[in-house]
Amino acid sequence: MDRADRTYALSMDDSDLNADTSLDPVFDPARDFRLDGKVLVVTGGGNGIGRAIAHAACRSGAMVHVLDRDAEAGARVVGELKEHGSAESHLLDITDEPAVEKVMRNIAAVRGIDVLVNNAGLAIRKPATELSREEWQRVVDVNLTGLFLCARTAARHMITSRGGAVINMASIMGLSGGGLYPNISYQATKGAVVNLTRALAVEWAPHGIRVNAIAPTWVRTEFIRPILDNPELIERIHGLTPLRRIAEPTDIAAAAIYLASPASRMVTGHILAVDGGFLAQ
Ligand SMILES: NC(=O)c1ccc[n+]([C@@H]2O[C@H](COP(=O)([O-])OP(=O)(O)OC[C@H]3O[C@@H](n4cnc5c(N)ncnc54)[C@H](O)[C@@H]3O)[C@@H](O)[C@H]2O)c1
């Protein structure tokens, strides 16, 4: 049996994996939705959804590490968090493998990594026939390869500390062909994130690592600035959404806190749509 197999077999037998079942049988929302003492890492935490998650996690008691390729944005968020708890920012492009390993190693060396929110992403919205190979590759590199590198690296640390939670940011466009405007590389990569989430959940469950994804609808951030600036498009989105509004970053942060917290301890491999009913139709 090689080392990886032995670790797997040992973990499968280890009663510690059931440690969560020894929790107080009374569900206490004031305790079980909190992240006190946890170390949470959020990529793309300098803006938009990642910033809202950093704020919510900090208020839930987590030590928050904001990773972003935009150093100024990351530092700004950490400045905002100072009065609510502890936070640090790290300059990181998630497509830079050695840098991902170095940043995660430095964070893990202090108090480990309990939660990774794999949130950084980008879109190049163009008709498929006009999308260059380089543009396709840029989206694949960030949304899929970078997300994988962060998950893999964080999981190596989580395995040594016997568990954790990974939350991947997918999209309703990972579960739908869309239709309002062309966005093929985004839809392809977010679809891949959906199934990567399921496969990693199965592979890492024996190590006590839960892997889930959030599939947001359109969220009010700079990411969709051209859409926010187009009233006709916004009206069409409202028409396609049973709850008749786009999401706010805090709507997504609420889902992330649930998936990070002990409240979701029996949930893994799940894709949580936060979409006002878009996918229910
Ligand atoms: N806003 C939406 O409508 C929406 C809907 C569904 C899913 N999402 C997803 O949510 C995530 C966050 O989106 P947002 O709306 O907050 O976007 P945003 O543009 O407001 O913020 C994204 C952040 O990620 C950072 N980032 C981008 N590439 C990076 C890289 N290679 N390395 C490190 N950091 C990087 C940016 O600097 C920025 O701070 C993305 O994965 C996006 O696909 C967004």
pLDDT per residue as tens digits for the range 218-236: 999 999 999 999 999 999 9
Å from CA of 197 to ligand 1 middle = 18
Q: Whose CA is nearest to atom 25 of ligand 1?
A: 44
HSE-up (13 A, CA, CB side) for residue 132: 3
Residue with the two structure tokens 């100024």:
72
Q: What pLDDT is stored for residue 74 in this prediction? A: 98
Q: What pLDDT is stored for residue 11 in this prediction? A: 39
Instruction: Confirm or reject: Cβ of 142 under 6 Å from ligand 1.
Output: yes
**What are the φ and ψ backbone dihedral angles of 118, each rounded to 5 degrees?**
-85, 85
Instruction: Confirm or reject: Cβ of 49 under 6 Å from ligand 1.
Output: yes
Alpha-carbon dihedral of residues 63, 69, 71, 76, nearest 10 degrees?
-50
Ligand 1, residue 70: give the atom nearest the CA: 37
Å from CA of 121 to ligand 1 middle = 4
Which two tokens mark 172?
Answer: 């309703």
- Give mean pLDDT in consecutive 10-residue pieces for the chain, a chain of 281 residues: 33 42 79 97 98 98 98 98 97 98 98 98 98 98 99 98 96 94 97 99 98 98 97 97 98 98 98 98 97
Domains (range + CATH), the chain = 28-272 (3.40.50.720)
pTM of the complete model: 0.93
Q: What pLDDT is stored for residue 100 in this prediction? A: 99
The secondary element (H helix, E strand) that includes residue 156 is helix 147-160
Å from CA of 4 to ligand 1 middle = 34
Q: Whose CA is nearest to atom 1 of ligand 1?
A: 219
Q: What pLDDT is stored for residue 20 in this prediction? A: 52
Q: Whose CA is nearest to atom 20 of ligand 1?
A: 48
